[in-house]
Structures are given as C-alpha cells and as structure tokens.
Amino acid sequence: MAKNDSSQDVIIGIDAGTSVIKAVAFDLSGNQLETAAIPNRYATSADGAVTQSMPQTWADCAKALRDLADKVPNLAKRTAAIAVTAQGDGTWLIDKSNQPLVAAWLWLDSRAAPTVEKLAASAGNRARFEATGTGLNTCQQGSQLAHIASTAPELLRNADAVLHCKDWIYLNLTGVRATDPSEASFTFGNFRTRKYDDTVIEALGLQKHKQLLPPIVDGSETTHALSVSAAAATGLLAGTPVTLGYVDMVMTALGAGIYTGEEGVACSVIGSTGVHMRAMTSDKIVLNAEGTGYVILLPARNMATQVQSNMAATLNLDWALRLGQQVLRDFGMESSHEDFVKHIDGWLLQTTPGSLLYHPYISEAGERGPFVDAAARASFTGLSDHHGYADLIRAVIEGLGFAMRDCYSLMGEMPKELRLTGGAARSKALRHIIAAGIDTPLRVSNREEAGAAGAAMMAAVAIKVFPRMEDCIATWVTPLLGVVEAPDPVLAARAAKLFKVYKHTRQQLAPVWRDFAAFRSSASM
C-alpha cells in the first residue's frame, strides 16, 4: 500500500441504484465502516415510461452523504476521496446551464421498443455490434436517444448534453460533464479503443447529435475536485478528489471478485436484475452471432467483461412474495416482505426439484439477455392441481438459475467458478439451486456493498493508495471470498435435462408473446 496522509483514512463510495442510493465509508484497507441509504423513487406510466426526477436524485445523494457524516466521526476531514457509480443505461438530458430538461428515462423504460426493432433490422446494426459488443435493447441510452430524436426532436434541440445517472451525480459533485469508458464504449463507442466510434453513432442515426456526448474520463486515473456548492450540500470539504466510477454492474463485479487472477472465473449479480459476467482481455472476446449481450470494460489493464443480463431477477421473487402477502391481506392478515423471505428456505426444502417450469420475464420491458424481446413475459409451464404456493416459489428460483445458464451458454462453456453477489446470494438454499442449475462451484463474497466498494477501489488507485488495480484487489477483494460451494451432482444432472425443456419452451413461446402483445395493444385502443 502506498503512503497516504494519515489523517485522511476514509474513501466514500456512492452507489445510486434503482432501489436505493447508498453512501458507504471504507478505510484504506477496504474495511467497511458505515453505510447510509436513501430509498430511490421513480414513476411509471401505462405507455411504458419509467422516469426519475434528476433534482431529487441529487438531493437524495447529498442527504445520504450527510447521513453518513452523522455516523462517521470527523468524516469531512478524514475523507481522502469520493467515488460514484450508479444504475446503468437510461437517458439524463441537461441544458446549457446544466439543468435537467425532463425527468430521466431509466433503464426500465420501454418506450424505445419500436425504434429498437427498426434499428436492429438496419444495415448498420452488425457493424455497431462489432464495435460495441453490445446488443440493442430498450434500456440503452443510444436506443432511447434515437427514439427521442424520431418522436420528440424538439427535446434534443434544447439539450446541451446527455448523461447517465452516475454522470449526473458527478456533475453535481464537481461541476464537470463527463462519462466513463464503460458506458461510453458499450453505448456509442468501441470496447477495443475505449473511445467513441463514428460507425456506431451513424448506425443509431445520431450523427446530428454527436455534440451531446460528454468527454470520457477514466476515474482510476483522473479525479476532479468537490465543488464549493457540492461541499455545502454534502457537508464534505471542497477540493476533495472525486472519482467517476464505471457502471454499477462492473463495479459490483469488481468488488465481488470477478477479476482476481484465476482463469475461467465469472460473476453473477442476483439483484433486481440478473447480471452474468466473464472477465477477459479485450482481444479474447468472441461476439455471438445473435448480436446480444454487452461488453463492459473493467478499470484494469485491457480487461473487459462479456455480459448477458436478464431484465429481471429478484423482481420475479418479489412478485411471488407480494402475491402471497396480498392473499393474506385480503383475509385481514398482515405479513411483511421480511416474514415471507424467512420462509423461503423452508419452502424449498418441502418441494420437489423440477416439478414446475418458470420463465422469469416479469419485466414490462421484456427481456434483454440472452435474447432481446420486448414482448417476452413470465409464465409457469406444467401447473397441476397438486402444486401449491411453495412449488411456485421453488419454480421461480429454479427459473433464475435456468436464465443464468441460458446467458452463460451463449458466452461459451459454463464458468469454472462463479462468484455470486446480490441480496439473494445470502440464501443458502437459493445458492444450492443456482449452483445445480449451472453445474458450477460458487463462492460468495463477504463484501456487503460490492458496488460502492468497486467504485471506492477506483478512487484508491487514482489517489495512489495502491499503484495498480491488481494490488488493490489483493487487499480489498480476495480475502473476503468465501468457501467454495460445489453443486449437488444429482440436482445438477436433473437441472441439465430440465434446462433443455426450459430453452425449447421459451423459443416456442416467442410468437405467443408477440400475439399477446398485439392483443393488449389493440384492446387498449
């Protein structure tokens, strides 16, 4: 570890997720000290819009930092650096005065679906995919910006820059407009050069709006000072170095152990969404013929992650638990989400593996990995009158494992070892099912806030606490990896057979999804 001012012994990591905005204090060795969290808020509407107030997002972030200061003595003087990551994709438009033009479009927004369909069928789409390594979907800023350009061009005429969530927070922290190499390259650039790519911008039909794209800044090399106004809002000291982290998916993976030097290691984040990643050097990435998934850069020497991401993971389980709560509520009995979560492991022990099949496409935006279909919807297959609520819960969790396997199978062989993170990873029974579903040994990181830690690690390298990211990983990540949990061979063999049925069924369901989407559309007129 490099020398550092001994009075500055804290790095703050900000992780502005879809559900919660967190500010987390770490010491320079990566030990988590305290956390402050503010629930995130967003609005939905019948047309598929999912939006978030930009001023409220900054206000909530500032409050999280102030709340953290209430928990950590002398935080302002002790802070060596601040780092920020946040939910990915989405479109955050600002004017010349750095003020929001409209509420931000989130990654959950599905309004760009018609534009995605047109762009995906265009002549330039394969070249765009070869550069970005990323398939088109409704989540992405490029797709959303193209949709806005065709449906509300006056909005872009009034725009002066387009940002992502973390970029917006960084602007409020430092006064600097910037984005990071990860989101810049998978949306508008080339993952090999880590720069914007004119071929990509042209394929999206956004040549006239290229000036909206902010400069690309690598936060593990460059910081900007906390502004006077941000210091007043947060209670921290003006001039404190601020790092712009990479997108939350890879920050979480970095903090959870995706890159620790071993070959064949992968990382899955089982949160609201399911994110499945392999780490490798950029030159070894082989893109699939289907044109799906992401390539997202890591803040380490020529390293990138190849990614497939399910639109919804624990959102499926949340729905199933709410269903049970609602039934009880209808009979005058109250039960909390936490009460239901406590019963999951017991329900899994009561049920038979593979007695029911579930496809976890619960999101209104459809699915984005390993296939892209805005019309995809969740379903149970094989329901009989002997099935009960516990069987539904088991099928939902098995469906998450099969969705994970579906994603990894498109990226090659199953990983040699999986590092698992996200709230659902705390359930031993769920891990048992996931390990069998992909027939891969797994390890869980003891890191509580992996996303904030990943961003803080970038700051630690930027301010020279560590000379290289690999040195930081050896201190912050590797010691926190848990024991290897091997898959049950009997369950794994059964899951391998059922996965073939899972995949065949979802392929056959595609025309049904389209027909049902057309029906819903006509019925709403």
Question: What pLDDT shows up at residue 525?
Answer: 59
Tokens at 397, concatenated: 């969790």
Number of residues that make up the chain: 525
The string of DSSP letters for 133-153 reads: -----TTSHHHHHHHHHHH-H
Three-state SS at 379 = strand
pTM recorded for the entire structure: 0.85
The string of DSSP letters for 258-315 reads: S-SS-TTEEEEEESSSEEEEEEEEGGG----TT--SEEEE-SSTTEEEEEEEES-SHH
Three-state SS at 354 = coil
CATH topology agreement for domains 1-88+164-177+217-257+448-480 and 90-162+181-216: yes
Question: What pLDDT shows up at residue 27?
Answer: 97
CB-based contacts of 3, cutoff 8 Å, min separation 6:
none
CB-based contacts of 47, cutoff 8 Å, min separation 6:
111
Cα 117 to Cα 33: distance, rounded to the nearest angstrom: 47
CA angle, residues 36, 41, 45, in degrees to nearest 5 = 165
- Backbone conformation region of residue 90, classed left if phi is above 0, alpha if psi is from -120 to 50, else beta: left
* Contact status, residue 431 vs residue 466, Cβ threshold 8 Å: no
Domain ranges across the chain: 1-88+164-177+217-257+448-480, 90-162+181-216, 259-444+488-525
**What is the SS3 assignment for 437-497?**
HHCCCEEEECCCCHHHHHHHHHHHHHCCCCCCHHHHHHHHCHHHECCCECCCHHHHHHHHH
CB-based contacts of 208, cutoff 8 Å, min separation 6:
149
Cα 151 to Cα 138: distance, rounded to the nearest angstrom: 15
Question: What pLDDT shows up at residue 3?
Answer: 46
Question: What pLDDT shows up at residue 473?
Answer: 94
Tokens at 10, concatenated: 């804290």
Cα 252 to Cα 422: distance, rounded to the nearest angstrom: 9
CA angle, residues 69, 70, 71, in degrees to nearest 5 = 90
90-162+181-216 belongs to which CATH class?
A: alpha beta
Three-state SS at 358 = strand
Question: What pLDDT shows up at residue 336?
Answer: 83
Question: What pLDDT shows up at residue 1?
Answer: 52
- Looking up tokens 């939902």, which residue turns up? 396
| Single-letter amino acid code for the residue at 159 | A
Tokens at 400, concatenated: 């998450």
Cα 212 to Cα 182: distance, rounded to the nearest angstrom: 17
Structurally, what CATH architecture does the domain formed by 1-88+164-177+217-257+448-480 represent? Answer: 2-Layer Sandwich (3.30)
The string of DSSP letters for 389-450 reads: HHHHHHHHHHHHHHHHHHHHHTTSSPPSEEEEESGGGG-HHHHHHHHHHHT--EEEB--S-H
Below-50 pLDDT ranges, the chain: 2-3
The string of DSSP letters for 364-378 reads: TT-B-SSS-BTT---
CATH topology of domain 259-444+488-525: Nucleotidyltransferase; domain 5 (3.30.420)
